[in-house]
A and B are shown apart, each in its own frame.
Chain A
Amino acid sequence: MRPEPNILFEGRIKASVRSRGSGWAALPMDEMNAPDGTIRKPYSMFYDGIRGMTFAQLNLKRGEAARYFHRQGITFSVYGESAATERLIPFDIIPRIISSEQWRTLESGLQQRVCALNAFLHDIYHRQEILRSGRIPSEMIFCNPQYRVEMHGIDVPRDLYIHIAGVDLVHTGDNDYYVLEDNLRTPSGVSYMLANRRISMRLFPEFFERQPVAPVEHYPNLLLDTLRSVAPEGVRDPRAVLLTPGPYNSAYFEHTFLARQMGIDLVEPQDLFVRGHAVYMRTTKGAVRVHVIYRRIDDEFLDPLVFNPDSILGVPGLLSVYRAGEVNLINAVGTGVADDKAMYIYVPEMIRFYLGEEPILKNVPTYALRNPEDRAYVLNHLNELVVKEVHGSGGYGMLVGPASTSKEREEFRLRILRHPGNYIAQPTLALSTCPTFVETGIAPRHIDLRPFVLSGRAIQIVPGGLTRVALRENSLVVNSSQGGGTKDTWVLEN
């Protein structure tokens, strides 16, 4: 019988494959393999444990994980496919491991960033000092479709707008983490973070026995605490609910999962109604008052009386109760103005302005195409850059220059010239790679990281977050809608 190939060996050879991206920081770092051929410290125990395993053993574990996700119905729906289509997000059994020192830096950086973003939202919906100081051009706010004039002068509990943020980070060098984008509306993915931990403890209990990995399971508890801490003033025992658009939403699994873990009701818009100055839900025992709504519905669909009158998702009158302070919405209405890709450029400036500190986390150098100089440069270097729509998300509406055809670039050039303000461009980042179990064995694949930052009584972050992985060789697109998968993220405890 032929011996099983040593998969790690293959992985180490492949780790030397370089990104085809060019320009800024072309060489990706690998999370496990250092350039000198040694194993990085956070991975040493894991490496020792897995080096003796065969392909067949790992394949069994992969099968076990797929069955677990399938049986639990941990699926998502894909836009553009029939409503009945449910797909599994591929889970890679090899974790991404972060040292405790590195996590501490990330944690303070994230706290600082979200704190400044909250201060910014409070400011632009009140005194607008940052505009008066000239640090951000006024038209960036007032011409932004995500700026909600309805929020102007409205006070929200604890002055908090972003209660849940998902900040996408990429790792490019030993201590270099860059923020790729801030998701401040209804960031998703946290249920996968929790499910991934559950399954990796089933697959690799021995690794958890051997070294302490910071737990994440209490996230729903922190989330519930956050929701209750921002209830309208004077409510002693607030009732929180999770508002979902319904079973055909791509993140429905996550909505059911979080509601279940928090022990709160998962409501659909038709379950809620407004009477007088309060929001109620329809129960078998009559109307029950609701104080906090963790809504997983975009602003535009919340209330047909204020926003989109054709929306069948909304709760008529919800906004007037919200503005009167009798119910709180999580996240607040109007946070979108702070997380589009054009506003991203100004976040470091917000940190300096509101906190008087230097940013701990770096921003990716970004060209704003509304600016003629930047535009001229970008149009001449389309094959090197990534161009993104200011309001796009989910990996849609973007051009990855080095991977594009000349026809695609030409199309994008015309789109940019038509609406330059709709686009930004960034250098192709050399996202770090992480060993990943693929069809041929263990090979490096590009990853990013989305930690979830909760703001209530305090700013709290469970260690780690969701690691997304681009499963196709050399691909940099990690979005689940575009062939990405996920990994468990271990933050080691000392």
Chain B
Amino acid sequence: MLLRVAEHLYWMGRYIERVENTSRAAAGTYYSSLLPSDCAFEEWDSLLTTLGQRNRFPEGFQAVSAEEILRFVILDPENPSSILSSLRAARENGRATCGTISLDAWESLNSIWIDLSGIDPSRPVPDGILPTLSRLREGTRLFRGVNQTDLFRDEASQWIGLGTHLERADFLARILGTRFQPLLKNIKGDSAYYTSMALLRWAGAVETYRKLYHNGIDPHQVVELLVLNEEAACSLHSCLDQILGLSIEISDGEDRVLRDLVGGLHGPFHEKWPFRISREELIPRLSAFSNDINRLSGRIAHYFQGAVCV
């Protein structure tokens, strides 16, 4: 496969995952902000912090409506982390992978784009925010399904998978970083329930949690699921497992730097890390983790520069 096409597939995987993550987080935040609570500010704050857009509303959120913030997060073409911007990037990368993703896959990706880019970002969203976000996620899920059906287990699906899991790991590390503090502030009572549910919703892990734990919602278990679980697609550990496997397949195990980087990230999970999920241990770990993910992205970019070719 052309190296450039591999790069486009990798980025397409990342951006599609980013569209889904952002749309889940946006929907979850909106939902939480509708509940009677004095934490609405924190909700919006952590959403924008996670997306790296906290400075967009320096005056705070008193003067702006929820819909305005959401339009910024979802539809603003000037906001580089808006869903629209990510979707545009996913589509442009998809368009450049001609012949690799199937025509049906391309058509489903293009349809999501036509749908979302047709909404005027300066006016209220015609069908309402939450239905629009649901439709969007249906679209991205359809796209993934078509891709999985049409691509046999070859290099293309490996590159898409690598992008997907790297993006997911990055997102999980970010949301744990921003939402962990409020979570462990109250570990009992109704408010513990709502903050835990908000985090699970952001991570798309509500149902997985319910399947795995039968003793109700407990903040420690929530973090355990999102960090340590080996099986669930929504955990850091399982993302790292995937990244490890895919990066070895892709480089035929010959890129030592890549292997060491992924190994360094993955190893601690098998050392039963962290033994105690406490504020003191997890927060510094998570921030180091985000940095390591960035280094790993950098190494993959190096790979695309054709170091393997000439």
Against B, the Cβ 8 Å flags (1 = close, 0 = not) of A382-399 are: 000000000000000000
Q: Is A199 in the interface zone, CB < 8 Å from B?
A: no
Against A, the Cβ 8 Å flags (1 = close, 0 = not) of B2-15 are: 11111000000000
Q: Is B39 in the interface zone, CB < 8 Å from A?
A: no
Please indicate the chain B residues that have their CB under 8 angstroms from the CB of A271 in the complex. Answer: 2-4
Q: Is the CB of A267 within 8 A of B111?
A: no
Q: Is B76 in the interface zone, CB < 8 Å from A?
A: no
One of A72, A273, A284 near B103 (C-beta < 8 A): A72
Bound-state CA distance A231–B2 (Å) is: 21
Bound-state CA distance A126–B4 (Å) is: 40
Q: Is the CB of B99 within 8 A of A265?
A: yes
Bound-state CA distance A272–B263 (Å) is: 34
Bound-state CA distance A282–B306 (Å) is: 7
Bound-state CA distance A462–B308 (Å) is: 42
Q: Is A286 in the interface zone, CB < 8 Å from B?
A: yes
Q: Is the CB of B309 within 8 A of A265?
A: no
Q: Which of B99, B250, B306, B310 has the most CB of A within 10 A?
A: B99
Q: Is the CB of B4 within 8 A of A260?
A: no
Bound-state CA distance A270–B310 (Å) is: 13
Please indicate the chain A residues that have their CB under 8 angstroms from the CB of B306 in the complex. Answer: 282
Bound-state CA distance A267–B100 (Å) is: 13
Question: Smallest distance from the beta carbon of A120 to chain B beta carbons, Å?
Answer: 35
Please indicate the chain B residues that have their CB under 8 angstroms from the CB of A145 in the complex. Answer: none
Against B, the Cβ 8 Å flags (1 = close, 0 = not) of A261-285 are: 0011111101101010000011111
Question: Smallest distance from the beta carbon of B153 to chain A beta carbons, Å?
Answer: 15
Q: Is the CB of B99 within 8 A of A266?
A: yes
Do A260 and B95 contact each other (CB < 8 Å), given the known contacts A71-B107, A72-B110, A265-B2? no
Question: Smallest distance from the beta carbon of B152 to chain A beta carbons, Å?
Answer: 15
Residues of chain A in range 226-255 having any CB-CB distance to chain B below 8 Å = 247, 252, 255
Q: Is the CB of A283 within 8 A of B98?
A: no
Bound-state CA distance A229–B52 (Å) is: 55
Bound-state CA distance A72–B106 (Å) is: 7
Q: Is B155 in the interface zone, CB < 8 Å from A?
A: yes
Do A72 and B107 contact each other (CB < 8 Å), given the known contacts A259-B99, A260-B99, A286-B308? yes
Q: Is the CB of A247 within 8 A of B96?
A: yes
Bound-state CA distance A384–B239 (Å) is: 72
Q: Is the CB of B309 within 8 A of A286?
A: yes
Q: Is A149 in the interface zone, CB < 8 Å from B?
A: no
Q: Is A328 in the interface zone, CB < 8 Å from B?
A: no
Residues of chain B in range 98-151 having any CB-CB distance to chain A below 8 Å = 98-99, 103, 106-107, 110-111, 114
Question: Smallest distance from the beta carbon of A255 to chain B beta carbons, Å?
Answer: 8
Please indicate the chain B residues that have their CB under 8 angstroms from the CB of A71 in the complex. Answer: 107, 110-111, 114
Against A, the Cβ 8 Å flags (1 = close, 0 = not) of B291-310 are: 00000000000000010111
Please indicate the chain B residues that have their CB under 8 angstroms from the CB of A273 in the complex. Answer: 310
Question: Smallest distance from the beta carbon of B109 to chain A beta carbons, Å?
Answer: 9
Question: Smallest distance from the beta carbon of B103 to chain A beta carbons, Å?
Answer: 7
Nearest opposing residue in chain A for B107, CB measure = A71
Bound-state CA distance A281–B308 (Å) is: 12
Q: Is B212 in the interface zone, CB < 8 Å from A?
A: no
Question: Smallest distance from the beta carbon of B100 to chain A beta carbons, Å?
Answer: 9
Q: Is B92 in the interface zone, CB < 8 Å from A?
A: yes
Q: Is the CB of A283 within 8 A of B2?
A: yes
Question: Smallest distance from the beta carbon of A66 to chain B beta carbons, Å?
Answer: 11
Give the number of residues in B that approach A within 8 Å (Cβ atoms): 23
For chain A, which range describes its interface: under 10, 10 to 19, 20 to 34, or 35 or more residues? 20 to 34
Question: Smallest distance from the beta carbon of B302 to chain A beta carbons, Å?
Answer: 14
Question: Smallest distance from the beta carbon of B189 to chain A beta carbons, Å?
Answer: 50
Q: Is the CB of A282 within 8 A of B95?
A: no
Residues of chain B in range 70-97 having any CB-CB distance to chain A below 8 Å = 92, 95-96
Do A282 and B98 contact each other (CB < 8 Å), given the known contacts A247-B92, A273-B310, A287-B309? no
Please indicate the chain A residues that have their CB under 8 angstroms from the CB of B96 in the complex. Answer: 247
Q: Is the CB of B3 within 8 A of A283?
A: yes
Q: Is the CB of B98 within 8 A of A270?
A: no
Do A247 and B95 contact each other (CB < 8 Å), given the known contacts A268-B4, A284-B3? yes
Q: Is the CB of A256 within 8 A of B2?
A: no
Please indicate the chain A residues that have their CB under 8 angstroms from the CB of B35 in the complex. Answer: none
Please indicate the chain A residues that have their CB under 8 angstroms from the CB of B111 in the complex. Answer: 71
Bound-state CA distance A270–B5 (Å) is: 12
Q: Is A5 in the interface zone, CB < 8 Å from B?
A: no
Bound-state CA distance A34–B26 (Å) is: 63
Do A282 and B106 contact each other (CB < 8 Å), given the known contacts A256-B99, A287-B309? no
Please indicate the chain A residues that have their CB under 8 angstroms from the CB of B5 in the complex. Answer: 265
Please indicate the chain B residues that have their CB under 8 angstroms from the CB of A260 in the complex. Answer: 98-99, 103
Nearest opposing residue in chain A for B101, CB measure = A260
Residues of chain A in range 53-77 having any CB-CB distance to chain B below 8 Å = 70-73
Question: Smallest distance from the beta carbon of A411 to chain B beta carbons, Å?
Answer: 40
Q: Is the CB of A73 within 8 A of B98?
A: no
Bound-state CA distance A275–B309 (Å) is: 12
Q: Is the CB of B110 within 8 A of A281?
A: no
Q: Is the CB of B4 within 8 A of A270?
A: yes
Q: Is the CB of B308 within 8 A of A284?
A: yes
Bound-state CA distance A255–B306 (Å) is: 24
Question: Smallest distance from the beta carbon of B270 to chain A beta carbons, Å?
Answer: 29
Q: Is B1 in the interface zone, CB < 8 Å from A?
A: yes
Q: Can you list 17 residue pairs at the A/B interface with Cβ under 8 Å?
A: A71-B107, A72-B103, A266-B98, A267-B2, A271-B2, A271-B4, A281-B2, A282-B3, A282-B306, A282-B309, A283-B3, A283-B309, A284-B3, A285-B1, A286-B308, A286-B309, A287-B309
Hey, which bits of chain B sit against chain A, CB under 8 A? 1-6, 92, 95-96, 98-99, 103, 106-107, 110-111, 114, 155, 250, 306, 308-310
For the complex of A and B, the 6 pairs showing the least CB-CB separation, nearest first, are: A256-B98, A260-B99, A282-B309, A282-B3, A266-B98, A73-B110
Hey, which bits of chain A sit against chain B, CB under 8 A? 70-73, 247, 252, 255-256, 259-260, 263-268, 270-271, 273, 275, 281-287
7 additional contacts (CB under 8 A) given A260-B103, A284-B250: A73-B95, A73-B110, A247-B96, A256-B98, A267-B2, A271-B4, A273-B310
